[in-house]
Structures are given as structure tokens and as C-alpha cells.
Structure 1
């Protein structure tokens, strides 16, 4: 993470709930508060993505179908580009650790292909996604380092989701 080239933006290392509530973009980018966790905010964002997917799909199965989830993910990706750009500028760090909307959207993408599945399969998807997101194998690491702004924040997690799905495809083919 590098500070943005902006004399207007403060360099905030630990954003607070107060900061998050100053603009809707912050609230979204910081995963409705899950990104404010003092430890492993990306993991907490992914957990929120997992929980929300399961709850919404079970509660309203006619509304939250895989096709509808796909539309939500596309819209959420675009919303994430905007909200992460704005929040990164306001924090003074283009990909601040508290911004977890990218994990939420990417894990929803994983789940539309993995579900329906039992708890342990979902858990394996969660672990694999977190490993790929944190380890940043090529090209995830390249995208993370070279694409800045909201698009870069969102894109590297989509690639991590692709690696997770590729792992599941290989596992199921064996």
C-alpha cells in the first residue's frame, strides 16, 4: 500500500466508524463495518460475504437466484470501483486494508458457482479464496501492485476468485 499523491487526503492508518459514516462510499468500501476489524479485516469481509450470501439465498430463494446474484455481482463490482476509489482517496492509501468490498463481491462470485453445497465445501472455498487473496500468486500480485484506484482494488480479488473456482474444477475432475 502506498500513499496516494494527494495533498488533500489525510493518511489514516486506522479508520474509525466515524470516518466510515462520513460518506456512503466509505460505508460500502469498508464492508458495512466488517473492514474495521483490528485483525484480518479481509477475512472478516469475506465472512460477511459468505454469511450474507447464505442468509439472502435461504431467506429469499426466488429473489436470490444464481442469475440474480450474477447481476448483483456485476453491479457490486461497479459500485466497488467507485466506492473504493473514493475511500482510498479519502484515506490517502489507494488499497487500504479496511476496504473489504472487493472480498465480499469476489466471494459472492465464488459462491454462485460452488452452491448449493454443504458447510465443509463452503468452508474449503472460503479457505482457498483467502489463501489466493493473501498469497497473491501471479497475476493477482501483478494486478495488486500495478493497477491502482478502485478498479485495481476490485480486480485482484476477482482473479483470486477465479483461482478458487479453478481449484474446485480441478478437484471435482479428479
Structure 2
């Protein structure tokens, strides 16, 4: 029987790493945690591409620390409740996208697809890289793969 982890949402780094608490969902915490990217996506939807890229880099760099510190607190590398990496990945997916319910849905599905299936080289990085960087890098890469595909869908006219 697996021991229940006692997270402390009063600790700012855990509150953020757990996606404002969404990562504590009893089922599919990564899927629920991904939704915590929406405020960032909406807040920067009209911002320049450079601002969106800068925020994605900032979210990712801060995420390395948040995820490492939270994982150390609970003594579990990449606990499913730690979802800041999903926030970063979905935010990256939506960089430069025209925001609509359709684009958000497609971006969400693409990101979750790559995050769950972990095709090469995502799976390799997930297995080989440890620490906060290891927690973050597979989702950042899943976000980049998803970004490429969603931008291609916009380019060919499947998304408007």
C-alpha cells in the first residue's frame, strides 16, 4: 500500500508546483493540472510573440526550482500531483495561437497526447534526466512538439 503524501498548499512553492491545487485531483492529476495554464494563456493571448516566449522561458526556469523543491519536500521524484511541468508544456503549446475554444481543445489534446505517450526523445529524457530539470524537460519538449503541430494546423487552415 502506497503511503499518502501530505502536501502543504500554504507553502508557496508547493501551491504553485501543484497547479494551485489542481494536481491534487484524485484521478488524472496531470490532466487537471494542465488546466492551470489557462490563466497564463488568457493573460498573454494579446501579447507579442516575444512576451509569450519570455513568459514560457520564465515559467520553465521557475518550474525547475518549484518541482525540485516540492519533490524534495515529499521525497518523491516527479510525484503525479506536481503539475507545474504540465502548466509550462500547455502554455508552450499555445504560444502564438489565436485563442478560441477550438484551438484550446486541440492544443490541450495534442499536449496531453505527447505528455502521456512520450515518443522519442521525450521518453528518453523522462527516464534519464533527474531532478527539477528532469521533471520539467519532458513536458517542455511535449509542449514544443504540440506547438509545432498546432501552428501547422493554423498554417494549412484547419484552425482559424
Give distance in 2, aligned partners of 1:57 and 1:162.
18
2:55 to 44, 59, 72: 72
Partner in structure 1 of residue 71 of structure 2: 88
* 1:163 Cα deviation from its structure 2 partner: 1.5
What does the per-residue CA deviation read over 1:9-32, in whole Å, with 9 as the maximum and x for residues that have no partner?
xx864444xx232x3221121111
Q: Is the 8 A contact 1:35 1:41 kept in 2?
A: yes
Q: 1:106, 1:161 within 8 Å by CA — same for their partners in 2? A: yes
Do 1:110 and 1:125's aligned partners in 2 also have CA atoms closer than 8 Å? yes
**Structure 1: runs of 5 or more not aligned:** 1-10
Partner of residue 20 from structure 1, selected from 3, 6, 9: 9
The alignment's C-alpha RMSD in Å is 2.1
Corresponding residue for 2:142?
Answer: 160
Query: Do 1:12 and 1:92's aligned partners in 2 also have CA atoms closer than 8 Å?
Result: no
Normalising to structure 2: TM-score of the pair?
0.85
Matches of 2:55 and 2:44, distance apart in 1: 13
Q: Is residue 2:108 matched to residue 1:126?
A: yes
Is the CA contact 1:12–1:91 (under 8 Å) kept in the aligned structure 2? Answer: no
Give secondary structure in 1 for the equivalent of 2:94: helix
Q: Aligned equivalents of 2:6 and 2:52: distance in 1?
A: 30
Moved over 3 A (4+): 11-16, 169-174
Q: Would you say the 8 A contact 2:22–2:33 is kept in 1?
A: yes
Show the 5 A alignment for 1:35-114: 35-49=23-37, 51-57=38-44, 61=46, 64-113=47-96
Equivalent of residue 136 in structure 1, options 118, 121, 125: 118
Give me the TM-score of the superposition, normalised by structure 1: 0.79
